[in-house]
Structure 1
Amino acid sequence: MASLRIYTRNFPHRTIVLATSDYALLFKSESRSTRRRNGDTVPRCQVDLVPVSSIQFEDYQIHGKGFGTLGLIHLDEDVFVSVITGSSKAATVRPGESVFRIDKVEFFCLSHSRYEDRLYHEVDSSIPVEVTETEVDYDLRETPIDVPFLALKKLLSDGSFYYSLDFNLTDRLQDRSDKSATFDIESLDEDMLWNAHLINPLLIFRAYLAPAEKNHLDSSRMLTCVIRGFCGTLTIPSSVPIISRGHTRLPSSLTIISRQSSRRAGTRFNSRGIDDDGHVANFVETETVLWIAPHLTFSYVQLRGSVPIFWEQATGFIPGQQKIEITRPVEASQHAFHKHFKNLELKYGAIHVINLLSELRPGEVELSRRFRELIKGDRISQETALGALSDHSLLQLTEFDFHAETRGPTGYGASSQIKPEIFHSLQGFAYFQEEESDLGIPDQNQKLLGNTIILQQEGAFRTNCLDCLDRTNLVQTIISAMALDAFLHQQGSSIGDNLQLRHSTLWADNGDALSKIYAGTGALKSSFTRRGKMSIAGALADVRKTAARIYVNNFSDKARQQTIDILLGRLTGQIPVLLFDPVNDRVATELAQLSSNYSSTTSIQIWAGTFNLNGRHPGPNIDLRPWLLSGFNRHDDGPQIFAVGFQEIVTLSPQQIMSTDPTTRKVWEQNVQSCINSEASSRKLPKYVLLRSGQLVGAALMVFVRGDSLKYIKNVEGNVKKTGLSGMAGNKGGCAIRFDYSNTRICFVTAHLAAGFANYDERNKDYDTILRGLRFLKNRSIEDHDTIVWLGDFNYRIGLANQLVRESAIQGDYQKLYDNDQLNLQMLAGRAFHFYTEGPITFPPTYKYDIGSDHYDTSEKARIPAWCDRVLWKGSNLRQLHYSSANLRFSDHRPVWAIFTCMISVVDEKQKAHLQHTLYRKYRHSTRAVVASEPEKADANTGKLYHPGIFSRTQESAIGAAYDKWWLNHGKSARSQVIPPSNNHIWNIQRIPNPFSWDDNDWAQVSPSTEIENGALNPPLPPRMNLSGYQRHRSSYDSNREHIDATIEVPGKPYQDNPKSQKSSKTAFWMMDSNHKSPPLPASTTKTLAREESPGPYNPRPHDIADRSVTHTKHDILGEAINDRLTWEPLHPKQ
């Protein structure tokens, strides 16, 4: 197993070296302070591949051995290098194809060594002491340090990550059989790659290396690609007969490799169902490999994954009672469902779905029903596209109620009843078989061997239950044994007890490993899988695992999910590490300028409305058309999006506020959808589809999208936030739905805030709680969107007397009411809805009416009318077209609605990638040629990667100021130079001292006819723009003139009127600070005055000036003396 050594150095700048015997990777990164000073928000890293002989390791501290790097990651404003420091062999697929399990991972910071001082990285005692002269500081600090990588370190070291240095572990054996035998890191399957976010910067670095350097990097095996899942091998002794022919004395091996997809990875209740790209949760490809010595290989692949529809499940403390919610209808799910199975068919061939869900549990019944509908819809759409009426043979479904079938006396043994139902497909799919054959004898000492593919697998079984763990693993064990037996039967043999035992053991270990990844504990029913029967101890173990799952799912999974998202780079705002690449910087700049070539904008309409129903149940007499159909007019096709918010859809009783009943919400969904679709049908427009809905007790939000817009929408999510009873009750709070429309992020929020006339502070707090506390997946907040619309009953009141409000409302004096509106005043004070906008209110207050009439509250309470129901928005791409209310009288509120025009950004990602690649090829050689023309690689004594002068500002800033003063060695001069407009200009010495004044000129023009007479310079002076201010400070000037020495030399050639003159005169002037005091002189400065002058009015005479000279040693900004004798001759005013 290849290994490398890890070195670090702190001075003159922080450097990390990963060295093999021949070559080394060197890493540098700009410090946090330097990045802030330069205004960089994206951390950059400098990487180079150099020969080991070019590095002097005396200045480095060794940190032990490593077995490869996982890549670079940005954590807590620092850049870290992740290195595998412990691993063990987990499997040997075939001779020369080993798989290693990661046991330990370390993170080394590129900015400082703070974490190393606490012994987070241990020194390997096997490294000779004489390799380094730097002692390790074993002193522990008393102050604890918040280490940002501990959660990642724990995750990567949990034994579920694997890598191989011999072959591409992300591909199944059949896919890599027709590829080159050489391990090519560029051929990785990104779906199964788990460190893509970390390794991607180094893969980009590798891609642009010269071929020779690329070969050196590949042969060093420093770049490591990792999968997550399970790998295990059991050796079959040669004494155990497997097939009758070709018996040898060499042992054979049985291996199982499970690769979990990283696309929708997560924990049990945080990752369910499918996403808009067709990726499902807990998708695992499991491969059974049997290598029979010395030349025969068998491989069989199965799939598992969550039910491919949009659904969620909340955590709970009662097993089997966690509520399942389907979040999208069939029409809005079909496109993602089709993508999923299309991708499977392209990669694996025909797909046979085995659904193990129960037909008795309500949640699972609904999932199965929706699954069947989507499969039927997918068949119809494909048959229509093919113009055929035959059955779609590439997708089949077998439903097998596992719990019902195994409820009898035989228990889990009854699961074998599934064999007849899948036997036909198993025979048709076949398996992969490869044989090593002799291709000839090139010489007398060596045979030329090659691999011959005998058979290929033409399809795969996709098995699912609810979690795709326990039931799925048991059924997949049966299918794997059936395929293995079919292969051995073809070889004239059968699966024996010894092979069957090893097969069952590996599958039980596989189930436990996958269950720990997804649910936090080992798999249930593993006792039966391992031994073929269920014991009392196995049943008790299942009870213990169930209790452990409840604890993990409720208290640990949220943190585990966030760590997984960090590893995969999926958190909102997470910044990837960028390498210093002048070509890429140039391409990025030009790509932004050419954005019109790959991006465009389109306009859509959004209708947003809110209605407090006052607990009114929907009925046949309720007509929502005056409210909902306001979005349609004669001149357009209607809105593409309807966002409908309801409040108090149920009566907010003490029993109701602690739980949510979706029954009433679903009835209102049907009413709204029926109303808008009836209008769409009359206009011959596509029907509207319920994209998603959400509910928090009485508050509900529904988003309907026109059918022709569904293809542009993805990443639909929803969440709620309670604010009632300090977050315990749902009578008050918010419900939000977000999605991406092309490349524009849109979020709708409906809220019901605290009631009460004087409780505006509580309403402000409720708003802030919802804004900060409501989070979507990947830690995305409400503010992380381009377009945000709040709609709901915000309960802000009008701060005027009741009678005055009622009279003003009747008279239509809405401006007076709005000037005293609490929400308006709170927004003006910056206490709520910061930077949000509300359109002009041209409708009467919407609360509180007598039900069934247009009269405001006539009860004993006689509440003051108010605009409780509002629509607010934020987004530079939004423009409000209408804002009004509707006259629906069955509630004590009036519904409010608004119509917006939203500009949608559409980016053609394929065109953008093509243009980016074209520009990179265009500038690659020219830009790198400029860089190469400078002194490139550093000398071996310093170990520096690059000459500091060959990079732009961003490259120079990689060397932190805390370790190195970059301007001392090869940097440019730091002296400021003031350049006049032309050579015949000098500073205006009579300009007033105020630097912000615009009344004076900075420069004065010198006439070419000026002559030097009697050794005195008499140039014409500019007019005195503000002489009074200058005169007021003459006494101060005279009292301090002997101490003035700071000067500024006027650039350009000195004016010399007489070419025969042996003396060149230089024009200079005195400079004072803001207090008209002389600046402090450098310590080495010497000054000689020609003569002393007594204090008095400023009236220099020609003979005084002629004899005056100042001699000093000139200093640059760094204090380095430059010997130069200058003669300064101050100008005197023109007489």
Structure 2
Amino acid sequence: MPITLIIPRKVTMVLLFKGEITDFNLTNRVQDRINDVAFDIERLDESFLWNSYMIGPLLQFRSRLADHERHLLDSSQILSSVIRGFVQSTTIPSPPLKSIPAGLPATLTLISRLSSRRTGTRFNSRGIDDDGQVSNFVETETILWTPPGITFSYTQVRGSVPIFWEQTPGLIPGQQKIQVTRSVGATQHAFDKHFQSLQLNYGEAHVINLLSETKPGELELSEKFRYHSRHSPLRRMSEKGAPSEHHLLRWTDFDFHAETKGPAGYENAMLIEHKLGFSIDRFAYFLSEDPNGDTTPRSKVDEGKSTIILHQEGVFRTNCLDCLDRTNLVQSLISVMVLERFLMQNSYTLPHEFWGRHSTLWADNGDALSKIYAGTGALKSSFTRHGKMSIAGAIADARKSVTRLYVNNFIDNARQNTIDILLGALTGQTAVHLYDPVNDHVMAELAERFTEFSSTKTVRIWVGTFNVNGRPCNANEDLGLWLHAHLAKFPKEPTLVAVGFQEIVDLSPQQIMSTDPRSRRIWEEAVKKTLDRETSRRGTSPYVLLRSGQLVGAALLLFAKEDVLREIKNVEGSVKKSLTAISKTGLSGIAGNKGGCAIRLEYSNTRICFLTAHLAAGFANYEERNRDYNTIAHGLRFQRNRTINDHDAIIWLGDFNYRIELNDNKVRSLIEKGSLEELYEKDQLNLQISAGVTFQDYFEGPITFPPTYRYNNGTDVYDTSEKRRIPAWCDRVLWKGEILNQVEYNTAPLKFSDHRPVYAVFECAILTVDEGLKARLSHELYEKHKKAIETTSSHSESGRTEEVGLIRDVYTPPGLPPASSDRHKWWLDDERDRIYPSNPSRSDRSSNDAKSASLPHRRLASSDNVAPLKSGILLDLDFTEYGNVLPLAKRETSAMQELVELSETPKKKGPPVPQKPLSLTKNPVVDPRFKGKGTAMATRALGGTNADDSTYKPPFRRSTGRRWAPKYTVLERRSITIREVA
């Protein structure tokens, strides 16, 4: 989204040296800023401010300044507001007011403000989010200024249909299918937020729905919209028995294409007037008058002088599918209707030239907004501009349609990325940091007092996976033996339920090449009914379908309790493009029945990701299964470039298809004996995880149930067919995240498939941050430390101020010394500790001692909470994790307390410190207790050999982000031992 301004040099010089550049608030409509006496950056409407991310740190810094300091900053004029949309004015030489003296023209202005809240290109941004923000939301204001100082303003809005829906691009018409991604129960709260915001900002809302009543996708959107409108609080707030005209939310369905199909064409769009006349008169318009009779347009005069005559009391919200072509044409007609009423009510004349300029403004507005969202000018602009549709206009529309196909499929992803960067919406993107010692100290103290404005609660999550082997489902299917099996042990119902299915359709070539949602919807209904039966019996809060996703035969359904919906937001799932949550791994990534489907959400301040996968089949294809996992794990993307690992808790569930590396007779014999441990030792997934080639850093609960594949349908007998498949644990649940605690892992006795369903129950710690309390505490701390630093600075000694003692507590990046001052020089510090540069190569390792004297050193700070060193011990440690060498050359600070503990104990026996770097390797010294369990042991490599030392014990397993995290104790200068920590 490059923005280029080309201004003639002469004009630029005149603007710069004659001071003609003035600040003007374009983010607010006239009605909201009419009484502003000057430009005030604090009154900017952030929802339409497109440079808020860039100036945000400056605004925060400004808010902490004293009044006189703030005035000095404002006088520099470095803070400006930027909107995205359309602004254009045109002069009316013959104004429509008879009493105006000759030679005084009027001005007609059109301003469209595109919201910066939920932004993006056509197929990357559709529908609504959990905060009630909709895609392509635009506020358009028509302003007419006429001498002597009369200002007319009328505002309309447009925006995507306010439900959760998506649409995929495609080069062939008909491929751009509309998908509603949430159930009505999980959508209503966001729908209500959107219209409550409209009601707060504009008053009553009248929705004009221009969608088709015959196209299936558009019809579904209209039906969902009507459902949510009938259940909106803005409808229920009206008095009982009151006519629909008195509701705070009304809507009009106007099938634009059907209404303009006849010989009159688009001229029939004027028929909408008789449906809108009541609301046009009821909403009125904004009108003000300058009592001094000023003859300068509103943007050049002091806006505090005007007398308000009339307020606009409501707003029309127009939408079609894209909110571009049809919407712009209808909005231009509404603008005409309102202007006609204003002019006629005030006995103004109606020159033809005026309406021609009005049409040109609206046509230019439509082209500008269309280029922003769809990449081309608006369709039907010929009619908007000239009042009729010509052959040339039809040809131009066809050319624009073809151009849109190209832009939407090949350019929009890059445009979307640019927009996200501009708004600071990419994952991991950080704003420019303005150095403020007081604020840095406040941030450090806030981190220490985090528990004062945050809380955690434990919620229960149920996940299950079931390969149904292509069996058709009945919507009344009772799945209680699976979905409710855990209630005998854990009576409280889970808050979240994630259900993964595989092979819900027959894998015919036609099915593999496309996704048929009908089967998934039947399974959704079956799961929902099973859950509802239990909640009805208990009288508890029902479940609602948050979102579902499907990849051919694999489907993922996510349900949540209705009473927690307001704590859940940013639910994202499967989209089929580069910003995607589905990776197809079958048939070279083009189509196939193998792959992964993910859904992510934010529960309060905790990010959770669920992913179901169906990996490659075949006994010997474990390497292909590993590749499938890596393809999904590294190629799967959510919006804003989020990855699977950008979450606090991740749960994989599905048919992973890993087998047991024993012959059929041996496996069946061990199953009969109940020797599951011996079977697990030969389980491919266990072996591959132990080798570090798949599912790195993931955990799986103890398997206490027999293999889940392959059974004869309807029986407990393993496969007796001619192929006689070897039984295996194909269906698994793996997880990652310190906030998760698995409390159950089992299978259920549903026997209508050749697989058994598997389920797992987790307890998850949900973090909630009280942002209001955090902001108040931050303000209090800032004022306290600001006063302290002012008091300290006001005292002087021998003509110089005392050193302010905040710098030593400011965060210092690893490997760097604290900032120096007049009284402290880090390079003159006697107590130095040697720190190697990050990631030294092995070849440079031998020369590190010689170089260390010239490297910066960091002194222990009081915040390190570690006793000062009495002797200099240098520990050079290589931590090898599955082949990735992570050199750690660090001193013993609080950050290393998990790995290194200093001790003043007497000398103990132990191996001498090796001359070569100590390494943790994958070459295991296998303890007999762990032999065959796939446990990757860490050991010492002393001179290339593994010392047989009685003090050595296998390290314990901890969920710390690394699979193995042993602790070391430095007992004295020349000895080191490895001990097991309980």
| TM-score normalised by structure 1 residue count | 0.69
| Cα distance change, pair 408–931 in 1 and its aligned pair in 2 (3 A) | farther
The answer as to whether partners of 1:233 and 1:253 remain within 8 angstroms in 2 is: yes
**Residue in structure 2 matched with residue 218 of structure 1 by the alignment:** 74
**Residue in structure 2 matched with residue 810 of structure 1 by the alignment:** 672
Deviation at 1:828, TM superposition (A): 1.1
1:542 corresponds, among 397, 410, 418, to: 397
Mapped partners of 2:330, 2:243: distance in 1: 30
Mapped partners of 1:382, 1:910: distance in 2: 30
Mapped partners of 2:373, 2:21: distance in 1: 23
**Residue in structure 2 matched with residue 678 of structure 1 by the alignment:** 533
Residues 744-759 of structure 1 correspond to what in structure 2 (within 5 A)? 744-759=606-621
Write the deviation string for residues 257-306 of structure 1: whole angstroms up to 9, x where unpaired.
00000000100000000000000000000000111123111111000000
**Residue in structure 2 matched with residue 892 of structure 1 by the alignment:** 754
2:179 matches 1:336: no
| Cα distance change, pair 931–277 in 1 and its aligned pair in 2 (3 A) | farther
| Cα distance change, pair 947–215 in 1 and its aligned pair in 2 (3 A) | farther
1:187 corresponds, among 34, 40, 43, to: 43
Mapped partners of 1:896, 1:355: distance in 2: 46
Write the deviation string for residues 29-74 of structure 1: whole angstroms up to 9, x where unpaired.
xxxxxxxxxxxxxxxxxxxxxxxxxxxxxxxxxxxxxxxxxxxxxx
3-state SS of the aligned residue for 1:227? coil
**Residue in structure 2 matched with residue 901 of structure 1 by the alignment:** 763
The residue type equivalent to 2:393 in the other structure is G
Deviation at 1:586, TM superposition (A): 1.9
2:289 matches 1:289: no
2:360 matches 1:508: no
| Cα distance change, pair 533–897 in 1 and its aligned pair in 2 (3 A) | same
Mapped partners of 1:776, 1:277: distance in 2: 18
| Cα distance change, pair 635–967 in 1 and its aligned pair in 2 (3 A) | closer
| Cα distance change, pair 423–881 in 1 and its aligned pair in 2 (3 A) | same
Deviation at 1:907, TM superposition (A): 1.6
**Residue in structure 1 matched with residue 272 of structure 2 by the alignment:** 418
Write the deviation string for residues 831-851 of structure 1: whole angstroms up to 9, x where unpaired.
111111100000000011111
The answer as to whether partners of 2:234 and 2:248 remain within 8 angstroms in 1 is: no
Deviation at 1:953, TM superposition (A): 6.3
**Gaps spanning 5+ residues in structure 1: where?**
1-81, 90-99, 104-123, 129-162, 441-445, 939-945, 980-990, 998-1023, 1027-1135
The answer as to whether partners of 2:444 and 2:810 remain within 8 angstroms in 1 is: no
1:730 corresponds, among 563, 568, 592, to: 592
Deviation at 1:652, TM superposition (A): 1.4
The answer as to whether partners of 1:949 and 1:971 remain within 8 angstroms in 2 is: no
2:561 corresponds, among 694, 701, 706, to: 706
1:527 corresponds, among 375, 382, 386, to: 382
Q: Which has the larger radius of gyration?
A: 1
Write the deviation string for residues 344-368 of structure 1: whole angstroms up to 9, x where unpaired.
1011011110000000100000000
The answer as to whether partners of 1:196 and 1:568 remain within 8 angstroms in 2 is: yes
Residues 352-751 of structure 1 correspond to what in structure 2 (within 5 A)? 352-379=206-233, 382-383=236-237, 391=244, 393-438=247-292, 450-619=305-474, 622-633=477-488, 636-719=491-574, 720-751=582-613
Write the deviation string for residues 288-339 of structure 1: whole angstroms up to 9, x where unpaired.
0111123111111000000000000000113455100001111111100110
Mapped partners of 1:965, 1:603: distance in 2: 40
3-state SS of the aligned residue for 1:200? helix
- Residue range with higher mean Cα deviation, 266-275 or 618-627: 618-627
Mapped partners of 1:972, 1:526: distance in 2: 69
**Residue in structure 1 matched with residue 109 of structure 2 by the alignment:** 255
**Residue in structure 2 matched with residue 25 of structure 1 by the alignment:** none
The answer as to whether partners of 2:127 and 2:160 remain within 8 angstroms in 1 is: yes
The residue type equivalent to 2:717 in the other structure is H
**Residue in structure 1 matched with residue 939 of structure 2 by the alignment:** none
| Cα distance change, pair 887–968 in 1 and its aligned pair in 2 (3 A) | closer
| Cα distance change, pair 916–667 in 1 and its aligned pair in 2 (3 A) | same
The answer as to whether partners of 2:234 and 2:247 remain within 8 angstroms in 1 is: no
Deviation at 1:591, TM superposition (A): 1.8
Mapped partners of 1:506, 1:300: distance in 2: 15
The answer as to whether partners of 1:383 and 1:390 remain within 8 angstroms in 2 is: no
The residue type equivalent to 2:380 in the other structure is K
The answer as to whether partners of 1:696 and 1:734 remain within 8 angstroms in 2 is: yes
3-state SS of the aligned residue for 1:664? helix
Write the deviation string for residues 522-580 of structure 1: whole angstroms up to 9, x where unpaired.
00000000000011111000000000000000011111111111111111111122211
| Cα distance change, pair 382–589 in 1 and its aligned pair in 2 (3 A) | farther
3-state SS of the aligned residue for 2:592? strand
2:30 corresponds, among 173, 188, 193, to: 173
The answer as to whether partners of 2:107 and 2:145 remain within 8 angstroms in 1 is: yes
Write the deviation string for residues 102-143 of structure 1: whole angstroms up to 9, x where unpaired.
x9xxxxxxxxxxxxxxxxxxxx99999xxxxxxxxxxxxxxx
| Cα distance change, pair 512–948 in 1 and its aligned pair in 2 (3 A) | farther
| Cα distance change, pair 268–932 in 1 and its aligned pair in 2 (3 A) | farther
The answer as to whether partners of 1:583 and 1:928 remain within 8 angstroms in 2 is: no
3-state SS of the aligned residue for 1:579? coil
Write the deviation string for residues 975-998 of structure 1: whole angstroms up to 9, x where unpaired.
34259xxxxxxxxxxx9999899x
2:705 matches 1:872: no
Mapped partners of 2:802, 2:254: distance in 1: 68
The residue type equivalent to 2:470 in the other structure is G
Write the deviation string for residues 404-462 of structure 1: whole angstroms up to 9, x where unpaired.
0000001111100001110110111111111111399xxxxx99992111111111100
Q: Percent identity?
A: 56
| Cα distance change, pair 448–288 in 1 and its aligned pair in 2 (3 A) | closer
3-state SS of the aligned residue for 1:642? strand
| Cα distance change, pair 453–194 in 1 and its aligned pair in 2 (3 A) | same
2:102 matches 1:245: no
The answer as to whether partners of 1:764 and 1:831 remain within 8 angstroms in 2 is: yes
Q: Between Structure 1 and Structure 2, how many residues are aligned?
A: 822
Deviation at 1:730, TM superposition (A): 2.7
The answer as to whether partners of 1:436 and 1:449 remain within 8 angstroms in 2 is: no
**Residue in structure 2 matched with residue 4 of structure 1 by the alignment:** none
Mapped partners of 1:233, 1:992: distance in 2: 76
Residues 242-321 of structure 1 correspond to what in structure 2 (within 5 A)? 242-319=96-173, 321=175
The answer as to whether partners of 2:550 and 2:556 remain within 8 angstroms in 1 is: yes
3-state SS of the aligned residue for 1:332? coil
| Cα distance change, pair 336–948 in 1 and its aligned pair in 2 (3 A) | same
2:771 matches 1:915: no
Mapped partners of 2:728, 2:54: distance in 1: 55
**Residue in structure 2 matched with residue 975 of structure 1 by the alignment:** 828
3-state SS of the aligned residue for 2:291? strand
Mapped partners of 1:970, 1:413: distance in 2: 81
| Cα distance change, pair 447–361 in 1 and its aligned pair in 2 (3 A) | closer
Mapped partners of 2:88, 2:645: distance in 1: 46
Write the deviation string for residues 615-667 of structure 1: whole angstroms up to 9, x where unpaired.
11113785322111114237633111110000000111222111100000000
Write the deviation string for residues 8-47 of structure 1: whole angstroms up to 9, x where unpaired.
xxxxxxxxxxxxxxxxxxxxxxxxxxxxxxxxxxxxxxxx
| Cα distance change, pair 479–126 in 1 and its aligned pair in 2 (3 A) | closer
The answer as to whether partners of 1:241 and 1:247 remain within 8 angstroms in 2 is: no
The residue type equivalent to 1:849 in the other structure is Y
**Residue in structure 2 matched with residue 1090 of structure 1 by the alignment:** none
3-state SS of the aligned residue for 1:614? coil
2:634 matches 1:769: no
Mapped partners of 1:493, 1:321: distance in 2: 51
Mapped partners of 1:749, 1:408: distance in 2: 50
3-state SS of the aligned residue for 2:85? strand
